[in-house]
Amino acid sequence: MKTVVVGAGLSGLTLAERILSSGTGEQVTVLEREDTPGGLARSFRIDGFDFDIGPHRFHTFNTEVDSYLLEILADCFVQISRRSSVHMAGKYRNWPLTPTSVAGLPFPVLWKSFLDLFNKPDIPVINSFADFIRSRYGDNLYNFFFSGYTRKFTGIDAEMLHVDWAQAGVNRAVIDNRVKADSLLSLVKGMLLPQPVETKFYYPACGGIQTFCNLQCERIEALGGKLLLSTPVKGLSIENNSVSGIVLENGESIPADRVFWTAPITILYPETGLTFINTLIANVALADEIPRNDYQWCYFGHEDLIFSRLTVPRNFRADCVPPGKGSVIAEITCDSDSEFWKNPETIRERLINNLKSVRAVAGDDILFINWQRIRETYPVYTLDYKEKLSSIHIPNGLFLTGRCGSFWYNNMDHSIAQSLSIVQGSEFKKDFWNER
């Protein structure tokens, strides 16, 4: 059996490693368009600084995933507690929200949100992200935070996004399913009657999050698998409605009896009109430790700020930066036609001024800014995305999986769980794709 895995992200590497570990004797080849493995879990080491693509860390309640994480990491991990924030009304506030963090909000915001507890809009049919947020959180919080943040992050008005974006975006931001934030009432209960929940993460003990993927690659190659980097794929070879191979961009072909596709689905099916968000990453190295930034990551909803999220690597592990130094990672979502995607230096001064305005940098402490263009980071759930997906004809032997391959906004633990289920021959249910 010749198996080809397209994409060396967490989904693809887990699939390849588990297939080879099962001892079935399959020939497994992993193809990756980038020059390093990891996909969206890549890391960049620059002058002693470790940068991830945003706040990557492992957290799961799935015992199989937990066992797999510990098997791969062995003793190469640390456990860290969560410290996340949201920046609202000019101040950093704990996320999930606490009474202290909410108390500093402007009185009109608090009063209108209180009234929304008893007077949320009655929306009989929930179709869009806007419908969901307004029905669960009320008009005030929707207008105050969600509407602007969503437009900045996705480039699309909340009314044009499918309701599934709420399940993906809101739940993924909460992370820990013991913490409820799925409605205004849940937020209030969480603030007034807080549960003693401390979310713990696994993070590699050296390097960035890509260390985990590197360990997977070592196992794949030790078990006889092939990993071909800098090898972009153009499409499939199909005979009698069955996959027979992979066609590379350079024209070469690789025979395959089955293909696990974790690369962007739009490479295979551009005619569907499905789209992804790209993310421009600004890796900012600093001359001091910036103790004022005690969060690991923080969300920024104000539309005047160019970034939607900041990450502070040293709050994941102190030696992600050289001694006495600091760093911050800014995520700027955009499309490939935007000027700052093509030429990031055009927004350098704006970025620095925005970082200074939220006290993330002092301004004169910047050692360097390293720009990284990360393609296809988030699938965009337009109102008709399910119809677009249902139009796809999948030949025998092709399996669409992972965030990009199955167009599923997941977390790293979900990618691993999905791959483990596939190898075991069991069905993996995407938690928010239920028919309504």
CATH number of the domain that 359 lies in?
A: 3.90.660.50
In a domain, 431, yes or no: no
Query: Are 404 and 315 in a shared domain?
Result: no
pLDDT in tens, 47-98: 999 999 999 999 888 999 999 999 999 999 999 998 888 888 888 887 766 6
Query: Are 299 and 356 in a shared domain?
Result: yes
Query: Are 77 and 217 in a shared domain?
Result: yes
Query: Are 265 and 407 in a shared domain?
Result: yes
Q: pLDDT at residue 434 above 50? A: no
In a domain, 406, yes or no: yes
In a domain, 101, yes or no: yes
Cis ω for the linkage preceding 121 (within 30 of 0): no
Give the per-residue pLDDT at 126.
87
Query: Are 386 and 270 in a shared domain?
Result: yes
Query: Are 111 and 167 in a shared domain?
Result: yes
In a domain, 49, yes or no: no
Give the per-residue pLDDT at 178.
44
Query: Are 387 and 257 in a shared domain?
Result: yes
In a domain, 344, yes or no: yes
Query: Are 291 and 372 in a shared domain?
Result: yes
Pairing mode, if any, of strands 253-255 and 242-248?
antiparallel
Query: Are 257 and 287 in a shared domain?
Result: no
Query: Are 107 and 171 in a shared domain?
Result: yes
Give the per-residue pLDDT at 187.
54
Query: Are 368 and 289 in a shared domain?
Result: yes
In a domain, 373, yes or no: yes
Give the per-residue pLDDT at 435.
36
Q: Which of 32-46, 106-120, 328-342 has the lowest mean pLDDT?
A: 106-120
Contacts 24+ apart (CB under 8 A), 54-57: 54/279, 54/281, 54/297, 54/309, 54/311, 54/329, 54/331, 55/84, 55/296, 55/297, 55/309, 55/311, 55/316, 56/208, 56/209, 56/412, 57/201, 57/202, 57/203, 57/209, 57/296, 57/316
8 Å CB contact between 408 and 430: yes
Can you give the CATH number for the domain in which 210 is found? 3.50.50.60
For the full predicted model, state whether its pTM sits above 0.75. Answer: yes
In a domain, 430, yes or no: no
Closest CA to 266 of 178, 383, 392, 148: 392
Q: Count CA within 13 A, CB hemisphere, residue 334.
A: 21
8 Å CB contact between 388 and 274: yes
Phi and psi torsions of 274, nearest 5° = -65, 145
pLDDT in tens, 130-151: 998 888 878 888 888 888 889 9
8 Å CB contact between 72 and 211: no
Give the per-residue pLDDT at 161.
95
Domain count, the chain: 3
Query: Whole-number mean pLDDT of the chain?
Result: 88
Give the per-residue pLDDT at 432.
47
What's the rounded Cα separation, in Å, for the pair 362 and 272?
46
Which residues, listed in sequence order, are joined to residue 399 by a DSSP beta bridge?
260
Structural domain of 109: 97-190
Percent of the chain's residues with pLDDT above 70: 85
What's the rounded Cα separation, in Å, for the pair 184 and 188?
6
What is the DSSP annotation of 99-123?
Answer: HHHHHTS-HHHHHHHHHHTT-----
Query: Are 280 and 133 in a shared domain?
Result: no
What's the rounded Cα separation, in Å, for the pair 391 and 270?
12
In a domain, 11, yes or no: yes
Q: pLDDT at residue 181 above 70? A: no
Q: pLDDT at residue 431 above 80? A: no
